Chain A
């Protein structure tokens, strides 16, 4: 066998445990990346494979208002002059009723050509065109069960009685079941007038799907249409650029999974770094002997790099195999995330790119420790220094090596994110998180080194934390970083659920009724007989702040909110019960004669969107008419939650006569919600009744499905933390063994020695989890209170559980070491003396 290879294999055999940790780190990083890559490919195939089927057209035009005459003319010209086909759709939420029961459904009213692309799968196997005739309706299976219906039964939608013609099994435009307001229902456009659901001010999304004949460029035709659209309210997209809800959701999910996989990769990288350090520490004497015998740095560096590369290749191959075996189980592990038929095998591209990326990262992270080979001097043999000596600590050249390595890692990560800014944000975020974790860890270890408790076990355990080469800081930093990430996600998820899903404040409304027309408010209030407040809603857009036009961001990035969207304005002369003024003296200013001039009060959250302040002049467009008003007060809400709120409030006299409709927020005992829903479905069928409790449960169901997937990938970063801990235990194996021997010679029992190491690890785990909680709590609070404007619950019991569980797991990690057990003291002493 080649001498070089035999050298590498001999060194590999001699440092088996450390090489195993290194191998596991590579496996973890590559398997995690490969699975995310593969899932990304599945989603891309599902969504981008046939974008036209997903969106239902080459061009998609939509608006919350009936389309402008100019746009209608342009679209008609497209059909007459260029042979395009059109299909109009109306999307709205409505109550569907049968006798005395009703359910809110997600209604899609379609013209006969629907769908222009893709398919609608019906239980009967017929096409939609064959099944959906005027006077009929297609419903989702759950609607049949919830209203106890059968095919052929008649249901009431708005003011029309329609026959259930078929059962909807699936649609190309809805490949995955995400959150929805109710079961999907498809009705024919011919019945739109009879249903009488589309009225002035009703919340309807109007859509035109266009199928272009071959040869026409969708982007060009979209540009032509964009020249005639009504500013802001009408949107024209092509199938390639449209962001459907499903696409948007998966973009966000994949972005998040990529972040989790990258976090795992970086933490595994630290694992590679620490295990390589441990491996070289173990081989220190061997390296010193080689140097004494004339081996130069290039020889040693090359051979140990070869060793790392060999382990990394084995890790990449194993990870690929494991990921390939695990991928078919995705459907079982994460049911409902993607339709089973869309969950493909691992895929060669996904596997190869993950392996290449993981291999490169492993070599880069190993370079730092490998550079320390230069610091190991043959003198070490003469000084009879123990392997945990200072040789590896002197790392003058390390900084010079680490700087370009860090740069290369950053380039790899940014390249992986495919977006420089997001990649930099991620790296900065991870660096900041790690820096905070390191600062806490350092502070804790400094404090621990000063402590001198009475208990001997505790004292020795604390001393052990600063054992030479113990890497306690690295272990605490990485473990705390991983736990902080995971725990922040846990807190955010449970706070979101707490705010929107699981519970409502006792006095918060649990039913919203939408689309109450201006002239039917009185009838509505008489009908429901429950005292409730009606909130007038006037739709409008903010056009300018101090004369500077408000423009939509056009960088393709998702934004939490934008000032360029349409807002619901209202008028009022007093604050809502859960509001208070944070700037200005009162909701509105009055002049000397007691009159209220035109002015606007804004909510603090919208103020932050546009950096607005008291005295700024806002220009609105309300139904096409300009309205200019100064900001005279800024409001804040006492709590976040499902109670109504408005970003912009104006004095009543300036908006009362504008076209408006109202919504009602009602607090009802849950048992009475169905009765109210049925009453409204019967008497005022065009109204939309939202049962917030039911919607919250639906959101919880959908969230749970995807949270499991996210948690899976995020949990891999914890495994990386454990690998680092394992690496650290191995790195200090000889020191611990030596300590165990000294203690035994002095008369300590096996249990006493085990107790020291157990307590030492318990402290390490306890401190890491404590640091994680100290980081996660304020981070989650910041996101909830200032990012999402939600009330915040710290979930202290979960925090304590995390701390206890981590301490226990990390504490028990020492058990396989069996320090003190089966120890031949005489032999160990002899070996240590000889080293």
Chain B
């Protein structure tokens, strides 16, 4: 087992649906090692995306603890969470979530610029070249295909060399060819950069390529 990077302890999360409180995650505990590729699977509504949001500091758990390295995410305030998301975590979403008013280059460079990195432009160029998108650096998201948008999103996730990439169904909106390309790219990059990858997926094929699979069922870890 590699050195642990992400540690989740007794995580619970409920939502209020109308007047009824529904438990989405119940007593979730697991550990992810550095450089590992972990797939989180489960049926719709099993709490996969909620778990990913909690891991990324995008939402607050009701109880339990999440550690990224030695830092307890669940105790951080908004400001420190923002810094954490910027420097240590990269996100890749199913719907890409690129800023529509920024072109591909600007979308990629944005997190580095936010961090005050003077090399932001050079890094963005290097990453776009790496994913063969440099010729399209000036294109806006609406001018790119789904696969291209996802490659831009991957570059954006990588620019601040995070230790953890959280991917939420990154191939869910893509055709099979583009999905295969994106998955290959993610895995190559994981190895190149030594980054830890936690990916939510419905796809058994994708899960099969993961080092480990955490399956959620009714908010609990099933296996």
A residues apposed to B, CB below 8 Å = 384, 386, 388-390, 456, 459-460, 463-464, 466-468, 735, 738-739, 741-750, 752, 824-827, 829-830, 832-833
Contact = CB atoms under 8 A, between A and B. Distances in A.
12 contacts: A384-B95, A384-B173, A389-B142, A459-B106, A463-B99, A735-B100, A738-B97, A742-B99, A744-B85, A745-B85, A746-B86, A825-B59
A748 B99 contact: no
Interface of B: 49-50, 53, 56, 58-59, 78-79, 82-87, 91, 93-95, 97-102, 106, 110-111, 113-115, 142, 156, 173
A742 B59 CA distance: 14
Nearest to A824: B59
A387 B126 CA distance: 33
A735 B84 CA distance: 25
B100 A829 contact: no
Contacts of A463: 99, 101-102, 106
Contacts of B53: 825-826, 829
B37 to A, nearest CB: 21
A748 B114 contact: yes
A742 B49 contact: no
A388 B101 contact: no
Contacts of A747: 82-87, 111, 114-115
A466 B85 CA distance: 28
A739 B101 contact: yes
Contacts of B85: 744-747
Contacts of A466: 101
Nearest to B57: A825
Given A745-B85, A747-B86, A748-B82, A826 B50 contact: yes
Most chain A CB neighbours (cut-off 10 Å) among B78, B101, B142: B101
Interface of B is mostly: helix
A466 B106 CA distance: 15
Contacts of B106: 459, 463
Contacts of A743: 99, 110, 114
Contacts of A390: 142
Contact of B79 (A389, A460, A468, A749): A749
Contacts of A464: 101
B112 to A, nearest CB: 10
A749 B115 CA distance: 11
A90 to B, nearest CB: 75
Given A468-B142, A741-B97, A824-B59, A746 B110 contact: yes
Contacts of B100: 386, 388, 467-468, 735, 738-739
Contacts of B82: 744, 747-749
Top 5 A-B residue pairs of the complex, sorted by shortest distance between their CB atoms: A747-B86, A826-B53, A826-B59, A747-B85, A833-B95
Nearest to B54: A826
A745 B87 contact: no
Contacts of B86: 746-748
Contacts of B98: 742
B60 to A, nearest CB: 9
A152 to B, nearest CB: 82
Contacts of B49: 826, 830
Contact of A829 (B58, B87, B101, B110): B58
A743 B111 CA distance: 8
B107 to A, nearest CB: 9
Most chain A CB neighbours (cut-off 10 Å) among B87, B93, B95, B156: B95
Contacts of A745: 56, 58, 85, 91, 97
A752 B95 CA distance: 24
